[in-house]
């Protein structure tokens, strides 16, 4: 009999961003492998529920009509910097999910749940006991550390309480999946025995999304695609836009999040006519737009917790064959530099970023080489069609070959 899996996640198709895309692909590929998969999620709300009134986001007919996807409705709270507002949003979500689980008469072999937010992971822990299932805990962000990193919340007593919950989840999970190798040492330090449970499954692309640079563009354009939130260094992006204006380089900002409107107002005030804002689109449309540029920008604030992450936009740029110029550190810097898919500023200053942009602008062969390097790295390490086998190994440990044990993290 095929195993039954319940995925519990805040983010799911058609939400934009790497989290929604990740859970969509896990669902689809597990179904292709013959598993019976249900999803407990919300109506799309991130980063703004109004986005999804546009039918172009609902571009996957199979998912639109699937009876396996159970969406709960959340009150129209604003997804903002306010910790209190977010807390009530998460608590309402968790409470309604718990109610759904307690009423369910279904049986599951596995519960797959994600953190952030930690409240959703707690719902997964409850579901483990309700369904007498094994719990697979996915870590996509180090929560609550990331709260401190973005300056949203830093009350030591409550942070300590959330840290205890984090340790409990690591201890009670049967398996732990991480999307960044940068998380492994943190998890091991929090709960040493959890290290043996960890499997690395990064964010990834599908084969049909890989887009080599075609070299037909006569102009040179830069793009920033993704969240303009509390974790990103938006001041660098604005300063870079000013410098690119002086160089007659177009900058496309396909962004969303907390600072989007402030950035638009600042660009308008400074009369930066080289900057074009593009409303977020479906993933397929985003990739078409990204691929029409010659450099992709990525920034993160200089906080210790963000040295562990690998932003989805880095993989997206590589998938689209766009060389990367970034102000990042840690694991992100390591991936970009080791694969020679772009440049990373050591000083985290605008002037150094400009040096790298100029270098790419003046050297089409370097552009092509870095484009090819990014494409190749995606094919080798960031393809869902390959990486899903690591999750299947978790679900079917008795079938795992000795050679596949390398998917378990060894550091």
CA distance 311 to 224: 12
Percent of the chain scoring above 70 in pLDDT: 90
**Which tokens is 129 given?**
């006991």
- Asked if residue 142 and residue 213 are part of one domain, the reply reads no
Average pLDDT taken over every residue of the chain? 89
- Asked if residue 188 and residue 62 are part of one domain, the reply reads yes
Average of per-residue pLDDT across 33-42:
97
- Asked if residue 299 and residue 163 are part of one domain, the reply reads no
**For residue range 321-359, what is the model confidence (pLDDT) as tens digits?**
999 999 999 999 999 999 999 999 988 889 999 999 999
- Asked if residue 220 and residue 170 are part of one domain, the reply reads no
**What integer pLDDT is reported at residue 241 of this predicted model?**
95
Prediction pTM value: 0.90
Residue numbers of the domain that contains 282: 207-381
| 286: pLDDT strictly greater than 50 | yes
In the numeric block, the tokens 């080791």 are attached to: 338
**What integer pLDDT is reported at residue 26 of this predicted model?**
97
Lowest mean pLDDT of 111-115, 186-190, 382-386, name the range: 186-190
Whichever domain contains 396, its CATH number is 3.40.50.2000
Q: How many domains does the chain have?
A: 2
- Asked if residue 300 and residue 177 are part of one domain, the reply reads no
| 66: pLDDT strictly greater than 90 | yes
- Asked if residue 262 and residue 297 are part of one domain, the reply reads yes
Q: What is the DSSP string of 91-142?
A: HHHHHHHHHHHHH-----SEEEEEESSHHHHHHHHHHHHHHT-EEEEEESS-
Of 230 and 297, which is predicted with more confidence? 297
Q: What is the DSSP string of 276-332?
A: EE-----HHHHHHHHTT-SEEEEE--S-GGGGG---HHHHHHHHTT--EEEE--HHH
| 94: pLDDT strictly greater than 50 | yes
- Asked if residue 134 and residue 236 are part of one domain, the reply reads no
Report the interhelical angle of 118-131 vs 156-172 (nearest 10°): 40
| 173: pLDDT strictly greater than 80 | yes
- Asked if residue 179 and residue 82 are part of one domain, the reply reads yes
- DSSP assigned state of 226: E
- Asked if residue 220 and residue 102 are part of one domain, the reply reads no
Average of per-residue pLDDT across 400-410:
43
- Asked if residue 311 and residue 403 are part of one domain, the reply reads no
**What integer pLDDT is reported at residue 232 of this predicted model?**
81
């Amino acid at each position: 009999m095929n195993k039954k899996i319940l995925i519990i996640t805040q983010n799911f198709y058609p939400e934009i961003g790497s989290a929604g895309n990740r859970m969509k692909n896990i669902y689809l590929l597990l179904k292709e492998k013959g598993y019976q998969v249900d999803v407990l999620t919300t109506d799309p709300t991130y980063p703004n529920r109004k986005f999804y009134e546009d039918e172009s986001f609902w571009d996957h007919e199979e998912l639109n009509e699937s009876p396996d996807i159970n969406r709960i409705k959340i009150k129209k709270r604003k997804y903002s910097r306010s910790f209190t507002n977010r807390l009530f949003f998460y608590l309402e979500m968790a409470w309604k999910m718990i109610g759904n689980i307690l009423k369910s008469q279904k049986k599951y072999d596995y519960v797959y749940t994600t953190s952030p937010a930690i409240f959703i992971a707690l719902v997964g822990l409850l579901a483990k006991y309700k369904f007498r299932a094994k719990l697979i805990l996915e870590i996509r962000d180090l929560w609550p550390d990331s709260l401190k990193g973005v300056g949203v919340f830093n009350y030591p007593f409550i942070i300590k309480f959330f840290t205890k919950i984090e340790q409990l989840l690591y201890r009670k999970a049967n398996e732990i999946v991480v999307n960044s190798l940068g998380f492994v040492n943190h998890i091991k330090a929090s709960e040493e025995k959890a290290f043996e449970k960890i499997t690395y499954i990064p964010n990834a692309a599908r084969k049909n999304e890989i887009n080599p640079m075609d070299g037909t563009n006569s102009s040179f354009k830069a793009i920033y695609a993704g969240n303009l939130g509390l974790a990103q260094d938006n001041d660098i992006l604005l300063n870079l836009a000013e410098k690119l204006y002086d160089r007659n380089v177009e900058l496309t900002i396909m962004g969303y999040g907390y600072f989007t409107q402030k950035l638009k107002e600042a660009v308008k005030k400074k009369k930066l006519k080289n900057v074009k804002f593009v409303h977020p689109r479906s993933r397929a449309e985003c990739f078409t737009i990204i691929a029409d540029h010659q450099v992709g920008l990525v920034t993160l604030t200089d906080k210790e917790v963000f040295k562990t992450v690998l932003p989805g936009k880095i993989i997206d740029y590589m998938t689209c064959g766009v060389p990367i110029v970034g102000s990042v550190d840690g694991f992100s810097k390591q991936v970009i530099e080791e694969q020679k898919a772009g440049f990373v500023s050591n000083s985290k200053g605008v002037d150094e970023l400009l040096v790298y942009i100029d270098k790419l602008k003046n050297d089409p062969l370097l552009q092509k080489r870095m484009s090819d390097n990014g494409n190749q790295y995606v094919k080798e390490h960031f393809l869902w069609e390959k990486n899903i086998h690591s999750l299947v190994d978790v679900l079917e440990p008795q079938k795992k070959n000795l050679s596949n044990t390398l998917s378990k993290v060894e550091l």
